[in-house]
Structure 1
C-alpha cells in the first residue's frame, strides 16, 4: 500500500442523511426486545463533495470551524487496555483540552473503540449487530442536543455546570494503523443551520439518550483528513453551551473513501468525549 498522504483536492463520498418522515426517530443501541425493530428510520445516501482538508489545514481551526487536526502522539501502548486508556489517555486529553480552550476544569467521561467490519458492508449506525465492538457510524449526526448536552454536563459537574459556560469536545484518532478505508467526514457548522437537525432517541437497556440526526441540504461544506495516522488526532466540538458561538456543534459521519486502496485494512479508531468548564 502507498502510505503517502493523498494529493487529491476532494472526493465525492456518500453520506447517510436522515430521510424525511413524520415521526420522531429512535435507534436501539443494544439488541431490541423481541419483535421490536432496531430503528424506525430510513436514510438516504447522498453523494457529497468532501474536501481534502490537508490542503487547507492552516485555515481550519477548532474555534472558527468546529474541528482541527493535531499532531499529538499518545503514551498509550495498547488502546484495547481499558485501564491504560482511562489511566493515561484520559489524563492526556484533559490536559490538552485545557490547553486548547483555557478552561477551568476538564473531565473525560467516556471512550469508544470502533472497528470497521471486514468486507466493508454498507455503513449504518454501527450498532445493528450483536458484536461487542461497534462499527463505523455512517449517519450524519451530532452526539448532543440542546437538551442532552446540558443534562450531561449537570450529571458530571453539578457544582460548576450551572454557573459556567462549557464545551463537550470529541477526540478521535486511528489506532494501530492509518485510517484509509473509512475516514471521518466533518461539516463546517456555519454551513449547517439548526433546521437541518432532527432530534432522535438512543435507547439503552437502562436509559434513553438524545442526539441530532442530519437532514440533507445542498449548502453543507464537508471536509476530511485522508490517511490519518495513529499519531494524529482530530478534536471537534460536540456541544458548546454559549448561544452566541458560531460552532456550537460539528456534524460528522464516517464514509467509504473511494480512493482507498483495495488492500486497506478495516479502520480501527478510538473516540473520547471531554467536558470542559469555561471561565
Structure 2
C-alpha cells in the first residue's frame, strides 16, 4: 500500500541542545583523555521543539535567507543506493559526487564545488538514538552545525590546495547535501532551523582537541531558545534533497543552519529505519 504522509501543520518532539556553561568557558571535546584533561566540559539537555511541516511551502525556503532549501533531484538509482549501503567510496566519488556538484552549482550559481566528505546513516532500532557503539552512524539527534567559521576556514585551507588563500578572498561556503535513500521518511526526519530566529549568544563554537591543547577542528553547538523556529519535510523521499548551509563568508546573508534529527511523534514503530547520505561541499564563487 502506498505511503501517504499525514498532513500536519506542526508536530512536537524533543531535541538535544548544549546546556549553557556557567563559568563562561567555551565548550570542547577531547579525543584522548588524561588526568586534568577530561573528554568534554559541557553537558547536553533535551528540550521540546515545535516543528513546522514545510511540505506545503517547500519552494519558499532559501539558503541565503533561512539557511536551507529543498530541491527535487532524481540523480540516484538502485546501483548508487547499494554503493552507499556498502560504503563503496570509489563508486560514490565517480558516480554520485558529480551529481551533487552539479546540483549545488545549479542551485547556487557557484563556479567550483569541492566535495571533501560524506556520511551514510542508518537508524538501528536495537540501540538508543545517542549510541554508535557498533560503528554505524545513527541519525544525529544533537542540534549542531558541522563547522564554525574557524573550522570552515581550516577546511578550505586543508582541501583548497595552493588556491586556498585566493579562494578565501572571494565568496566561499560550506553546504551539506542531505538525502534519504529509503524514503519516504517516517521515523527520524531531518529538521532545520531558520537562521533568522537564532541569536549570536546561542551559537557556541566548540573546539575538538586530539590531545590536551592540540586542536584539530571546531564545530558549533547550539543553546536552546523557545524563539527558534524549526522546519521538517514530511514524508521526504529520495528525490527530495535538503541543502544545509554550514558556513558563508559573505555578510548580510544566513551564515549557518543548525540541524538535527527528531523522533516523529506519529512514527510507525514497524517502519523501515531511516537511511540517508549527507555530502559535504566546499563551494566557491568568482565574485
Contact 1:9 1:55 in 2 (8 A): no
Q: 1:180 maps to what in 2?
A: 186
- Taking the aligned partners of 1:204 and 1:176, their CA distance within structure 2 comes to 35
Distance 1:120 1:77, change over 3 A: closer
Please give the secondary structure, in 2, of the residue aligned with 1:62.
coil
Give the number of equivalent residue pairs.
Answer: 272
Q: CA deviation at 1:129?
A: 3.9
Contact 2:30 2:40 in 1 (8 A): yes
- Taking the aligned partners of 1:222 and 1:262, their CA distance within structure 2 comes to 24
**Which structure 1 segments of 5+ residues have no match?**
none
**Which structure 2 segments of 5+ residues have no match?**
none
Q: CA deviation at 1:64?
A: 2.2
CA RMSD of aligned residues (A): 2.3
- Taking the aligned partners of 1:17 and 1:45, their CA distance within structure 2 comes to 6
- Taking the aligned partners of 1:203 and 1:179, their CA distance within structure 2 comes to 35
Q: 1:196 maps to what in 2?
A: 202
Q: 1:50 maps to what in 2?
A: 51
- Taking the aligned partners of 2:34 and 2:207, their CA distance within structure 1 comes to 19
**Mapped pair 1:170 → 2:176:** yes
Q: 1:221 maps to what in 2?
A: 229
Indicate the larger mover: 85-94 or 56-65: 56-65
Aligned pairs for 1:242-253 (under 5 A) are 242-245=250-253, 247-253=254-260
What TM-score comes out, normalization by structure 1 length? 0.89
**Mapped pair 1:153 → 2:159:** no
Aligned pairs for 1:55-204 (under 5 A) are 55-75=56-76, 76-78=80-82, 79-80=84-85, 81-119=88-126, 121=128, 123-124=129-130, 129-157=132-160, 158-159=162-163, 160-203=166-209
Structure with higher helix content: 2
Q: 2:28 maps to what in 1?
A: 26
